[in-house]
Structures are given as structure tokens and as C-alpha cells.
Amino acid sequence: MKVYVLNGPNLGRLGTRQVDVYGLTSYAGLVELCEGAGKELGLDVEVRQTDAEHEMLAWLHAAADEQAAVVLNPGAWSHYSYAVRDACALLRAPLVEVHISNIHAREEFRHHSVVSAVATGVICGLGVDGYRLALHHLARRQAEQ
């Protein structure tokens, strides 16, 4: 099963950005975690990060065309990007939305995600382990089919 792990703005700064909120794991460490978990689970995992919304849209469109599953951390786009939300709605395979921090325990503007309504499931507040849990969920769904 092909799984794209897509990360939005500022996630490339993991390990140096607000470590009290996002932890000390670097972006390279996150990539290693996702690729390692994918290998253990028999998933073909490709991890990407962008700060450019148009690039994220192109990746989501490609995932839709390939019928690939997606683990998405849309970052700030979660809260206002209807373009990202609409691209997610095109997906024909499961979409798991992941947030490293608990968006519901943070600033008011972070409490709502426009993406959540079109996601298969949402994981938030479990740190980078949320990515591993999302991949386990996708592998289990695949095995049940």
C-alpha cells in the first residue's frame, strides 16, 4: 500500500521550533520514524514537507489520482485553507489528519480544522507518535480488506 506522509508549513523546523509544544524530534527524525514504521508494517511510505500551499495541493491531487492513502499534518493550513480541504476531499483512499500538539488545548483559532470533516480520522496531541499510530491504522485497514 502506498502512503504519502505530507507535512505542511513550518514542520521542516521540528526540533528547533517551539520545542515546548512540538518536542525535540527533528524533521529528519520524523522522516526516519515514518519510514521505519512503514517498513515494519509493509507500507510503501513517502514523507514530504512543504511551506508552499500550491505544492501541497499538487501532492494531494497526485495521491487522489494514485488512490494512495495519506497521513497529513496540514499545520496552519488546517484552520483556514479551503483549498487544502477541497484537495483532501478528492482522495479515494483513507486520510488520517495528524497534529503533533493538541490543537484543542491551544489558542482559540487552532481549535477548528477545516480538514477534519473530510478525514477518515484525526490524531492530535500525541507528539510524533501520532504518525506511527496513523500508519498502524492504515496497515490494519489494508489487512482487513
Any domain includes 105: yes
Is position 99 annotated as part of the catalytic site? yes
Any domain includes 79: no
Reported as a pLDDT band with limits 50, 70 and 90, residue 6 is very high
Any domain includes 77: no
Q: How far apart are CA 44 and CA 102, in angstroms?
A: 28
Q: According to the model, what pLDDT value does residue 95 have?
A: 98
- Above 90 in pLDDT, residue 8? yes
Helix (H, G, I), strand (E, B) or coil at 42: coil
Any domain includes 76: no
Instruction: Give the chain's domain count.
Output: 1
Q: What is the CATH number of the domain that holds 49?
A: 3.40.50.9100
Any domain includes 124: yes
Is position 136 annotated as part of the catalytic site? no
Q: Give the whole-number percent of the chain exceeding pLDDT 90.
A: 82
pLDDT tens, residue by residue, 112-129: 899 999 999 999 999 999
**Whether the model pTM is above 0.85:** yes
Q: Is 102 annotated as a binding residue?
A: no
Q: Is 78 annotated as a binding residue?
A: no
Domain that holds residue 90: 2-70+84-140
pLDDT tens, residue by residue, 50-59: 999 999 999 9
Active-site residue among 4, 22, 61, 111?
Answer: 22
Any domain includes 41: yes
Any domain includes 75: no
Contact by Cβ (8 Å): 9, 75? yes
Any domain includes 78: no
**Residue in this structure with the C-alpha cell 494531494, named with its chain if needed:** 60
Q: Is 101 annotated as a binding residue?
A: yes
Q: Is 100 annotated as a binding residue?
A: yes
Active-site residue among 99, 111, 112, 136?
Answer: 99
What 112-116 contacts at long range (C-beta under 8 Å, 24+ apart), as own/partner pairs, is 112/79, 113/74, 113/78, 113/79, 114/78, 114/79, 114/80, 114/81, 114/82, 114/84, 114/85, 115/72, 115/74, 115/77, 115/78, 115/81, 115/84, 115/85, 115/88, 116/78
Q: How far apart are CA 22 and CA 56, in angstroms?
A: 21
